[in-house]
Amino acid sequence: MTERRPAYQRILLKLSGEALAGDADMGIDPRVLNRMALEVGQLVGIGVQIGIVLGGGNIFRGAELQANGLDRVAGDHMGMLATVMNGLALRDAMERNNIRTRILSAIPMSGIVDHYDRRAAIRALQSGDVCIFVGGTGNPFFTTDTAATLRGIEIQADVVLKATKVDGVYDSDPFKNPEAVKYDYLTFDEALEKKLGVMDLTAICLCRDQKMPLRVFNMNKPGALLSLLMGDAEGTLLGNKPR
Ligand SMILES: Nc1ncnc2c1ncn2[C@@H]1O[C@H](COP(=O)(O)OP(=O)(O)O)[C@@H](O)[C@H]1O
Ligand SMILES: O=c1ccn([C@@H]2O[C@H](COP(=O)(O)OP(=O)(O)O)[C@@H](O)[C@H]2O)c(=O)[nH]1
């Protein structure tokens, strides 16, 4: 019997802040964090190199703070700092499960986390550490989806995996439309033309221009991450070529 090998050697996994909150609207659910750490640990165990970009929407989002009267740039700075807090919590959960990690932040924060350096990240990945990228892109008016795409391209990941609350990309928001139909495959141009709201447009354009495949899948489905790493058709794949 031939042993199945992982479909990808190096991945960039985007975990939204909301994913860390579990069933709650905000904050961090330690059980969810532990489950995610264990799922990531399984991938480390089969030799996959993993970079993770964390969101911060479970704590602060700049646009929401702005809607409540705060300056947008200050709000975005708060959102980026929120991703650092999520990173510290995820590192803690990973290290309790004996998974070696390295946090790299787009915003220098000496004494708490290391400053992002692409070559240091690649070296850490090659030595088997999971790299947790925090601080988004370091700039306001961007999102952590764009940061995920950016870091994925920089570390030369084989794929960007966007973990979310839905099973993939649908022809309309499945939370609002129960009749929505899921795509198994979609080109970036189709996603842009149809304005499918699952990922921000800057992130999709960057993937398209740099030919970085993107898979959107449901992180609430236990085992989905391992299953897609083993080549199963979980979620929706986005790429450049029409099928
Ligand atoms: N066409 C679509 N297909 C799938 N999900 C969509 C679509 N349009 C909007 N969504 C919404 O996008 C959300 C996933 O995005 P995500 O980045 O994980 O959440 P957040 O809004 O917290 O950043 C889903 O919860 C879903 O409601
Ligand atoms: O490069 C970035 C990434 C994030 N943010 C801010 O950080 C917040 C949290 O990130 P995001 O909304 O992407 O988190 P998620 O939805 O994935 O939890 C955003 O709303 C922005 O305010 C930013 O200003 N620049």
pLDDT at 242: 87
| Structure tokens that stand for 127 in this block | 């030595």
Residue ranges of domains in the chain, CATH in brackets: 10-239 (3.40.1160.10)
pLDDT (0 to 100) of residue 127: 97
Closest C-alpha residue for ligand 2 atom 4: 143
ipTM of the modeled complex: 0.94
Cβ of 94 below 6 Å from ligand 1:
no
Contact at 8 Å (CB) between 18 and 165? yes
Count CA atoms closer than 13 A to 149's CA, side-chain side: 23
Angle ∠(49,55,61) on CA atoms, nearest 5:
170
pLDDT digits (tens, 9 = 90+) for 47-68: 999 999 999 999 999 999 999 9
pLDDT of residue 2: 58
* Smallest-distance ligand from the CA of 137: 2
What would the mean pLDDT of 88-95 be, rounded to a whole number? Answer: 97
SS3 letters across 76-109:
HHHHHHHHHHHHHHHHHHHHHCCCCEEEEECCCE
Q: Does the beta carbon of 170 lie inside 6 Å of ligand 1?
A: yes
Q: Is 241 annotated as a binding residue?
A: no
- Residue-wise pLDDT for 164-216, tens only, equals 989 999 999 999 999 999 999 999 999 999 999 878 999 999 999 999 999 99
Lowest-confidence segment of 14-23, 38-47, 50-59 by average pLDDT: 14-23
Report, as an integer, the average pLDDT of 149-177.
Answer: 95
